């Protein structure tokens, strides 16, 4: 009888490692370090070159089995689980590109905190947090190249590509699970700085609006306020008023896509430099002042680690945003 090829993921396996098709069924045994990870994320991290839609299809059809049984995409793996992966056609086996020396140095220089299984990075604007949708190299891929011997590196939460500032990355699964649980229960502090067009209403300190994601024919993802959307809450505090703009501190109480940007638009004060939700004529005015990006910055993050230690990390405001604020203050006289 023909034997079925199999292999075991070693305890030191990096979740960024690529899966190599064997032409037949493969069996992957889950090590301790990956216990608790959802099966869909487990497969997405390993089946490089396999379309995301294909991975979810084989899960729905039961072609992926865990311990010989069908599981849903949200199933959380346990140590020793045996995952059956069917033969799959790989669309693109080209390895992910290596980060250039300048990008690696930029990310290294942006590390604000690295201790107790937690990384906090001052993410540069324009850098996606992960590859996908035409982006082959993001922050998480660069970090895995910087820390090639690290057994575990995963995003705790996300930032838009156009947003700069503090973002948390876990280097231990226990830290990831603990901080994400606190995120879901609202026990993680996240504070942003945002510059809004217009005069923010003094009485509008909390915005509650359901948000729904939409995909345009062009493939662009947009978010809008809609009663069928997911509940979302943001707290806004006016820090400084200028002639036609308002500097705000924002605390998102939920973590919806584009939440702060759409909530600001909903109030009638869209964010400066936002090419998705701010009118072109308004953005032209900001460009004339030298702003070439979205004015949204993750100013600080705070969380409690599994051992009870409280970590609060602040991310300095990028020079280009500080320069704009200086110019606005000078105009005020």
The Cα angle at residue 256 between residues 253 and 262, in degrees rounded to 5: 95
pLDDT of residue 225: 96
Domain boundary among the residues 21, 55, 85 is at: 85
pLDDT of residue 8: 35
Q: Distance between CA 261 and CA 160 in Å, rounded?
A: 10
* Token pair of 130 as six digits: 């992960």
324 domain residue, yes or no: yes
Kindly state whether residues 213 and 186 are assigned to the same domain.
yes
- Measured CA distances, 72 to 32, 85, 208 (Å): 21, 14, 32
Q: Distance between CA 169 and CA 25 in Å, rounded?
A: 33
Kindly state whether residues 236 and 319 are assigned to the same domain.
yes
* Token pair of 30 as six digits: 């889950």
> Residue 263 phi/psi, 5° resolution?
-65, -40
- Measured CA distances, 260 to 79, 240, 269, 281 (Å): 38, 18, 11, 21
Kindly state whether residues 288 and 148 are assigned to the same domain.
yes
Kindly state whether residues 79 and 211 are assigned to the same domain.
no
The average pLDDT across 221-245 equals 96
Kindly state whether residues 281 and 189 are assigned to the same domain.
yes
pTM of the model: 0.77
Kindly state whether residues 180 and 154 are assigned to the same domain.
yes
Exposure letters 135-164 (e unless 16+ CB within 10 A, then b):
eebbbbbbbbbbbeebbbbbbbbbbbbbbb
| Residue 128 and residue 139 in contact, taking contact as beta carbons nearer than 8 Å | yes
322 domain residue, yes or no: yes
Provide the domain limits for residue 58: 7-85
pLDDT of residue 18: 39
Checking if the pLDDT of 191 tops 70, the result is yes
Residue 244: CATH number of its domain: 3.30.2350.10
pLDDT of residue 32: 79
The average pLDDT across 288-307 equals 97
Kindly report, residue by residue over 123-163, the tens digit of the pLDDT: 999 999 988 767 778 999 999 999 988 878 999 999 999 99
2 domain residue, yes or no: no
Confidence of residue 21 (pLDDT cuts 50, 70, 90): low
| Residue 148 and residue 15 in contact, taking contact as beta carbons nearer than 8 Å | no
Kindly state whether residues 200 and 66 are assigned to the same domain.
no
The average pLDDT across 233-238 equals 98
pLDDT of residue 210: 97
Confidence of residue 20 (pLDDT cuts 50, 70, 90): low
Instruction: Give the strand pairing for 65-66 and 69-70.
Output: antiparallel
The average pLDDT across 179-191 equals 94
Domain boundary among the residues 23, 51, 85 is at: 85
- Measured CA distances, 120 to 25, 95, 133, 176, 293 (Å): 39, 27, 25, 13, 22
Confidence of residue 26 (pLDDT cuts 50, 70, 90): confident
How many structural domains does the chain have?
A: 2
Kindly state whether residues 118 and 81 are assigned to the same domain.
no
Confidence of residue 221 (pLDDT cuts 50, 70, 90): confident
Kindly report, residue by residue over 158-172, the tens digit of the pLDDT: 999 999 999 999 999
Kindly state whether residues 177 and 307 are assigned to the same domain.
yes
- Measured CA distances, 270 to 80, 164, 209 (Å): 50, 17, 15
Kindly report, residue by residue over 78-96, the tens digit of the pLDDT: 989 999 999 887 654 456 6
197 domain residue, yes or no: yes
Q: Distance between CA 164 and CA 287 in Å, rounded?
A: 18
91 domain residue, yes or no: no
> Residue 163 phi/psi, 5° resolution?
-105, 135
Determine if residue 110 is left, alpha or beta; phi over 0 gives left, psi from -120 to 50 gives alpha, anything else beta: alpha
Kindly state whether residues 136 and 58 are assigned to the same domain.
no
Kindly state whether residues 124 and 22 are assigned to the same domain.
no
Query: Residue 299 CB: number of other CB atoms within 10 A?
Result: 18
Kindly state whether residues 258 and 125 are assigned to the same domain.
yes
The DSSP result for 177-240, as a single string, is HHHHHHHHTT-SEEEEEEEEES---TT--EEE--EEEEE-TTS-EEEEE-TTSB--EEEEEEEE
Active site residue 160: yes
Confidence of residue 103 (pLDDT cuts 50, 70, 90): very high
Give percent of the chain with pLDDT exceeding 70. 90
Q: Distance between CA 137 and CA 174 in Å, rounded?
A: 26
Residue 44: CATH number of its domain: 3.10.290.10
177 domain residue, yes or no: yes
288 domain residue, yes or no: yes
19 domain residue, yes or no: yes
Checking if the pLDDT of 6 tops 80, the result is no
Mean pLDDT estimate for the chain:
88
Active-site choice (160, 182, 307, 319): 160
């Amino acid at each position: 009888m023909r034997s079925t090829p199999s292999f075991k993921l070693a305890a030191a396996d990096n979740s960024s490692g690529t899966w190599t098709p064997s032409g037949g069924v493969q069996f992957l045994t889950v090590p301790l370090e990956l216990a608790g990870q959802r099966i869909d994320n487990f497969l997405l991290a390993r089946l490089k070159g396999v379309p995301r839609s294909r991975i979810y299809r084989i899960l729905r059809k039961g072609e992926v089995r865990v311990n010989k049984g069908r599981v849903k995409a949200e199933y959380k793996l346990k140590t020793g689980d045996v995952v059956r992966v069917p033969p799959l056609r790989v669309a693109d086996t080209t390895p992910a590109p290596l980060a250039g020396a300048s990008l690696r140095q930029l990310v290294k220089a942006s590390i604000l905190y690295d201790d107790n299984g937690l990384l906090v990075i001052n993410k540069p604007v324009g850098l996606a947090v992960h590859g996908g949708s035409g982006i082959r190299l993001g922050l998480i891929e660069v970090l895995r190249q910087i820390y090639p011997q690290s057994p575990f590196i995963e995003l705790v939460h996300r930032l838009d590509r156009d947003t700069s500032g503090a973002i948390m990355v876990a280097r231990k699964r226990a830290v990831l699970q603990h901080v994400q649980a606190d995120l879901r229960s609202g026990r993680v502090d996240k504070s942003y700085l945002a510059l809004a067009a217009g005069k923010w209403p003094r009485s509008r300190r909390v915005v509650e609006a359901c948000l729904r994601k939409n995909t345009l024919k062009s493939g662009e993802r947009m978010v809008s306020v809609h009663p069928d959307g997911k509940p979302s809450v943001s707290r806004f505090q006016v820090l400084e008023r200028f002639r036609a703009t308002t500097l705000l501190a924002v605390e998102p109480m939920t973590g919806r896509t584009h939440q702060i940007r759409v909530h600001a638009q909903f109030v009638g004060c869209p964010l400066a430099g936002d090419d998705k939700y701010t009118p072109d004529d308004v953005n032209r005015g900001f460009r004339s002042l030298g702003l070439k990006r979205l004015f949204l910055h993750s100013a600080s993050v705070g969380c409690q680690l599994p051992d009870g230690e409280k970590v609060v990390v602040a991310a300095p405001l990028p020079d280009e945003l500080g320069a704009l604020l200086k110019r606005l203050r000078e105009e005020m006289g």
